Amino acid sequence: MKIVVAYSGGLDTSVLLKWLKEKYNAEIIAYCADVGQAEELDGLEAKALATGASKCFIGDLKEDFAANYIFPMMQANALYEGRYLLGTSIARPCISKDMVDLAIREGADAIAHGATGKGNDQVRFELAVNALAPNIKVIAPWRDPEFRKQFPGRTEMIAYAESHGIPIRQSLKKPYSMDRNLLHISFEAGMLEDTWYDGTTPADREMYKLSVSPEDAPDQAEYIQILYEKGDAIGIKYDGLDALLKELNVTPKGERDGYTLLSPLGVMYVLNALGGKHGIGRVDIVENRFVGMKSRGIYETPGGTILLAAHRDIETITIDREVQKVRDSLIPEYATLVYNGFWFAPERETIQALVTKSQETVNGEVRLKLYKGNVMYAGRRSPQSLYSEEIATMEGGHEELYNQDDAEGFIHLNGLRLKQFSRVNKPYGN
């Protein structure tokens, strides 16, 4: 038997790798996806091989993640339960697809993951495998009573690792769990399971990785301009951008009308840096997990928060009202599909096709003001703007474009049903 194991090099997945090899007498192939988690990947292959894997693959998915998952989701303005920018959720299908592709190339019989039986990730990984490779088996050790009995806690895992010669770095466990990628970082469990716990105090200042506290953000606001093409951010204009790109090791793709053109990954790097600098994108929520329970989490999504704000703003002048209404009516469903793990489901792909069509005219520029946790709108313009100053002006305007006399008939026809309802039901008398 050959099993591809989702592997991070940490204690849990190292133990899991060895345990699977012993239980199934299987060849183990370790897989790690780099989706921008900024974790140390040096030495990971050697550690996986020393732990018992026959091979170890590290997938560099950062560009793929930004271009084919984050950006399409941003075109949909997706927010789960109106607040969560889906940072963990959207990374799972990206990781799963590359892992499935590896399993197919290597002729693996199964894929194994270390997601717990209480969380959403088990569902997301397995639904992705079901959609992409229905003949590949999925093994989830945390849903195996034998595994849970053998490893009721971290102490037992450390003892197992030591007895099997698994290299580990023993350290005190953080009082919370973290999951980081290019779009966000999440904090859950530990003291955060108390919904009354305040995660904004100086006591937890060291917990945050992507942003400063709004109280510690610069006292001087900064402006940023974002260039859009068909609903995607393709360029940025910002004082000091050249120095920032050098610091981030980002190579521009060119220049257009004073904008520095960037790949989706480059856009995310820049917006994360600027959002983090100004304390943007922190949210503390209690959400509804797909498996039925409520869960409290704190999220940092600096770049995504700016990107969502900018996209919403450019749409205000470039997208038709009724098209926007149809698209917006699908946002809750779209966000739920992403959250629940149905990225590769036909219904999500169908909605995405509608979203893509709606973005054909979403071209132009947005100017934003960043200040102490806030993203403020400071201007938008487009060669395809549907806003007409000649029509909207309160200073007269052209009668041939808008005749105010026409409003009388418009109001009369819209009020007809209201008058008739009142006549029949007489809620307020005659």
Q: How confident is the model at residue 168, as a pLDDT?
A: 74
Residue among 15, 243, 239, 26 nearest 141 (CA): 15
Phi, psi values for residue 321, rounded to 5°: -55, -45
Provide the CB-side half-sphere exposure for 310 (13 A, CA): 32
Two tokens, residue 87: 């940072």
Q: How far apart are CA 62 and CA 106, in angstroms?
A: 23
SS3 at position 334: helix
The answer to whether residues 159 and 133 touch, using CB atoms and an 8 Å cutoff, is: no
Residue 252: per-residue pLDDT: 98
Candidates 121, 204, 232, 313; catalytic one: 121
- pLDDT score for 41: 82
Per-residue pLDDT, 169: 66
- pTM for the full model? 0.94
Let me know if 177 is a catalytic residue: yes
Q: How far apart are CA 128 and CA 344, in angstroms?
A: 6
Report the distance separating Cα 222 and Cα 234, nearest Å: 20
pLDDT of 151: 93
Among residues 4, 374, 8, the alpha carbon closest in space to that of 178 is found at 8
- Please name every residue paired with 256 in a beta bridge, in sequence order, or none if there are none: 259
Q: Which of 54, 177, 213, 385 is catalytic?
A: 177
What is the reported pLDDT for 429?
Answer: 57
**What would the two tokens of residue 53 be?**
């894997």
- Residues in the chain, pLDDT under 50: none
Classify residue 120 by its DSSP letter: S
Q: Look at phi and psi of residue 302 and say left if phi exceeds 0, alpha if psi is from -120 to 50, else beta.
A: alpha
92 an active-site residue?
Answer: yes
What is 339-351 written as a DSSP string?
A: HHT-TTSHHHHHH
10 Å Cβ neighbour count for 233? 24
Which of 92, 180, 327, 380 is flagged as catalytic?
92
Q: Is 12 a catalytic residue?
A: yes
